[in-house]
């Protein structure tokens, strides 16, 4: 089954302690769609400028990503520049140029409106809600968010949460949203806001999945140990895209906690490959057999 992914497509400049690269393919929509494409064909809704390189478009097409919903506007593509510190856990944003993304108005092609699986990438919650208004009967809707929206668009975010099956956010965002210093309490508080499931990302320490506490629905997933960490950009988006793509591959009438557990591990596997290179260099060479091999190794070292 296809999975609809809405987010940003960007050109990134990334600096690490050992190397600097410019004009890399980036953005939450790009990373999410490519990760999902290893499981099911994604439909991508985003906007790029007239300066967007054809080589990047060719790569997205090579992954069998449906680009009918990719708008091309006159002007410059969204650009982001960032620098990572020595331990790679700390990052400084050097510049953000929204360009054509500033006026992005996601409009779904008719063929996308019945897509059962939906991943709303990290864009304004009002735009995420606008996407849901255009979908007829989604089977499973998940969304990513960030501290900016919690701070400046809280009302819109709270409205969105009531429409979600799964919200993905990091540990600091969960605490900010709930004013709870304890992640367990924060997750339960977020569930009361609407979503059936809450996934809290903890960076190099993995992720936690929360469902119905009365049914014992809790899962803690470590991150896969990566020795060759090159560029963490997009890891969280690959995690979400891999998760969504694997759920679509399962195509269950009702997504259950067991399927979500497995999907989170697959999302972690995709993220672990993505950080082994700049942008999509590692994912370009990635083969399905490698994904399954790392998943099996994940099982072995985690004993889940």
Does the predicted TM-score (pTM) go above 0.85? yes
Across the strands, what pairs with 18? none
pLDDT digits (tens, 9 = 90+) for 179-233: 999 999 999 999 999 999 999 999 888 999 999 999 999 999 988 889 889 999 9
Domain covering 3-161+217-302 in this structure, CATH number: 3.40.1190.20
The pLDDT of residue 294 is 95
For the chain, give every domain's residue range.
Answer: 3-161+217-302
Which residues does the chain have with pLDDT short of 50? none
The pLDDT of residue 297 is 92
The pLDDT of residue 81 is 97
């Amino acid at each position: 089954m296809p999975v609809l992914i809405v987010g940003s497509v960007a050109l990134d400049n990334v600096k690490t302690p050992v190397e600097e690269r410019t004009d890399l393919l980036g953005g939450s929509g790009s990373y999410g769609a490519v990760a999902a494409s290893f499981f099911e064909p994604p439909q991508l809704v985003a906007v790029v400028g007239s300066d967007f390189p054809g080589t990047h478009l060719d790569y997205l097409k090579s992954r069998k990503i449906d680009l009918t919903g990719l708008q091309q506007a006159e002007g410059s593509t969204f650009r982001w520049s960032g620098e990572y510190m020595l331990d790679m856990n700390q990052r400084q944003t050097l510049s953000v140029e929204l360009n054509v993304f500033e006026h992005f108005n996601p409009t779904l092609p008719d063929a996308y409106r019945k897509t059962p699986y939906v991943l709303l990438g990290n864009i304004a919650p009002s735009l995420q809600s606008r996407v849901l208004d255009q979908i007829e009967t989604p089977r499973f809707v998940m969304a990513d968010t960030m501290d900016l929206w919690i701070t400046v668009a809280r009302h819109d975010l709270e409205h969105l949460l009531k429409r979600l099956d799964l919200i993905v956010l990091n540990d600091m965002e969960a605490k900010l949203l709930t004013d709870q210093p304890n992640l367990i309490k924060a997750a339960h508080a977020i569930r009361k806001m609407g979503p059936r499931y809450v996934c809290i990302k903890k960076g190099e320490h993995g992720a936690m999945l929360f469902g119905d506490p009365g049914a014992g629905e809790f899962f803690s997933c470590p991150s896969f140990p990566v020795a060759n960490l090159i560029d963490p950009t997009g890891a969280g988006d690959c995690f979400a895209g891999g998760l969504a793509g694997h759920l679509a591959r399962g195509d269950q009438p009702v997504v259950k906690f067991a399927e979500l557990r497995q999907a989170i591990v697959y999302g972690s596997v995709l993220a672990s490959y993505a950080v082994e290179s700049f942008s999509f260099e590692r994912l370009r060479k990635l083969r399905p057999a490698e994904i399954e091999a790392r998943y099996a190794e994940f099982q072995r070292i985690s004993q889940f």
